[in-house]
Structures are given as structure tokens and as C-alpha cells.
Amino acid sequence: MSSPTTAPTALSIQRLSKHYGRTVAVQDFSLDVAAGETLALLGPSGCGKSTVLRCVAGLERPDSGQIMMEGREMTGLPPEARDIGMVFQDYALFPHLSVLGNVAYGPRMRRAPRAEAERRAREALALVDLSGLEHRRPDQLSGGQQQRVALARALATGSGLLLLDEPLSNLDEKLRHELRGELKSLLAQTRSAALLVTHDQREALAVAGRVGVMRAGQLVQVGPGPDLFARPATAWVAAFLGHANIFKGPNGTARVVPEQAVRLGAGDSYHITAQVLTDSGSEVTVDHPLGPLRLHLSPREHGLIKGGQLSVQVDEAGVLQVPDDRGPVEAQSRAGR
């Protein structure tokens, strides 16, 4: 994607806060999404990520803060004045309209004549590979097809900003895996900016260019997915992103041992205290001086185990020193959606 000299921000969220009664849903949240960029907001359920999305869409009114789109102030505007395309977690397809009627709804509400609206709807449906199903009703479609209709409906608005709320979470694992790839290439094709909300780190890494990690209403870390995984800012982020080896250090710090810092078949031998077979090999726990080291071994690496011992060398330079924030902060994040 070619970026012009002064890359305009498609969406700029500044110091957003939102309370429900006495619970804090979002607190002092700031984030920019560049034109054409896909950004995923990742966090456990109840962390406030959906509230951010609903504030951007205009479905919730923030207590304070600003929402700008392409430099224009949007904070007080109703949803229909914001020109966005949104995909809901439950799809929210109109049960009384056909597939075509659903997808043409956005253009129609933007005052396109019927023929023009239907042409754009057909284009969007072709984009998600659903041509031929225009006259079905939503309840006659499979879950995957309904998801595509919801996507096509958001795309047909032609809006420069797409909002996706857990778009794949209602699908089974296999379908989700297929659609992640499709979603990424589709978003690249449309050249729209997209803000995606998800609790699934694989989805965030597969679809988005940048990932923002949220916890208890606040943005903890934001950056390109691989960077985030390689250099988590805190122990909590490391744990949330799936790091297995995080050990408590002195003075409120923690040591994170990434997989690439561990060399197998070299150095001292240690006892194996636990062993579990997985679909792609095995997972063993090694009694290492740093702490119980959990390692994932391929079947070939599994052959390195000799008499209940495995030789392991940890590259000290690769071990990350991070603040340990894995406390009970979750208590305040009980946010209603």
C-alpha cells in the first residue's frame, strides 16, 4: 500500500474514558489508526475493548475524550453521521430482508438509488464470494455465510473505516482458520482502515498489521504483532500472548524466557518432571535453575531426551527482564458491554 507523504489518520482516539456506574470500562485510552491500516485491539473479555469500539461507532457516549475521523471531530455525532462500516459479533443481520436487501441497506441509507445500491451490494457480495445467494434469507445461510454477509454489508457502505467486533468468534475452529486468511486479504483489497476487536491472539496476529493489547480499560502496549510477541512490555502481556516461561524475579520484576532463547541438546542435563503429548509433538517441563521450564518439542526433538534427562542451554542475553504486573487488577475491569 502506498502511503502519501503526510499519512492521514483514519481514526484518532484521544483520552477516551467511559464508566458504567462505578465500574471503569475504559480509562484514558488513546490510539491512532492510519489510513489503510488494520489494527487489532486484543484483550481478555471484559477489558473494555468492545466499549472502545462502540464509542467509536457512536453506539456509546464516552464520559470524556475525543474521537476524530480523518481529522474531523466525531465525538458527539450519532452513528449514522459517522460513515463507518461495522461487523457485529452476532452479525445482526436483518431477518426480514434478503441477503441482497441486507447488503444494499447501507448504500440505500446513504441515498443511493435502488439500482445503484444493488449494484454496489452485488460487488460486495462478489468480493466475499457469495454471488448467487442474493435472494436467500439470513436464516437459510450457514454460520460462515452469515459472517460473510455481515462483512459484505459493512464493505458495501464504501466507508473508509471498518469496525469489526469479534467477527470470527461465532465460527468453528476450522472455519475461523480459513476466514482469518480471507479477512486479511479482503481488508488489504479494500484500502479501508480497520479496527478489529478480538480476544484471540492468533486472530489478531494473523489479520492485523499492528496489535494493541488492552487490560482493565487501558492500553498496555501497541505495536506490530511479531514485535509484541518478541518483546512483551510486561509479564502480564507476555502471559496473555502465550509465553509459557515467566519467572518471578526480585523487586517486582519477572524474567520471560522466549522459545528462541532456549537451545536444546547443548549445555547441562536437567530432569524432566512432566511430559504431555500434543497434536504436534510433546510438551515437557524441565527442572531448570531459573524455574520449571516448559518446552514444546517436535517429535524429532523428543528424541533428545535420554533417560528422563534433557540438555538445555538458556541464552541469558535472550531472557527479557520485565515488570511483573500479574496482580489482581482484573477486579476493577468488570465492565458491562
Residues near another protein (CB under 8 A) are 57-59, 78-80, 82-86, 88, 90, 92-96, 105-106, 109-110, 153, 157, 163
Distance CA 320, CA 185 (A): 34
Here the cell at position 189 is 483489497
Cβ nearer to another protein, comparing 42 with 152: 152
Contact indicator for 258, 304 with CB cutoff of 8 Å: no
CB 55 to another protein: min, Å: 13
CB 142 to another protein: min, Å: 15
Cβ nearer to another protein, comparing 76 with 267: 76
Cβ nearer to another protein, comparing 105 with 229: 105
CB 91 to another protein: min, Å: 8
Contact indicator for 239, 326 with CB cutoff of 8 Å: yes
Contact indicator for 163, 87 with CB cutoff of 8 Å: yes
Query: Which residues are within 8 A (CB) of 260 and not within 5 positions of it... i.e. 6 or more apart?
Result: 318
Cβ nearer to another protein, comparing 90 with 178: 90
Distance CA 143, CA 35 (A): 30
Contact indicator for 101, 94 with CB cutoff of 8 Å: yes
CB 154 to another protein: min, Å: 8
Cβ nearer to another protein, comparing 47 with 84: 84
Pairing status of strand 309-314 against strand 193-198: unpaired
CB 82 to another protein: min, Å: 8
Distance CA 152, CA 157 (A): 9
Distance CA 264, CA 269 (A): 10
DSSP string of 171-204, one letter each residue:
S-HHHHHHHHHHHHHHHHHH--EEEEEES-HHHH
Distance CA 328, CA 239 (A): 14
Cβ nearer to another protein, comparing 53 with 312: 53
CB 95 to another protein: min, Å: 6
Query: Nearest Cα to 134, choosing from 120, 175, 143, 302?
Result: 120
Cβ nearer to another protein, comparing 20 with 247: 20
Cβ nearer to another protein, comparing 165 with 203: 165
Here the cell at position 188 is 488489504
Cβ nearer to another protein, comparing 196 with 235: 196
CB 107 to another protein: min, Å: 8
122 in helix, strand or coil? helix
Q: 7 φ, ψ to 5°?
A: -65, 115
Distance CA 198, CA 169 (A): 8
CB 162 to another protein: min, Å: 10
Give the DSSP letter of residue 14: E
CB 13 to another protein: min, Å: 17
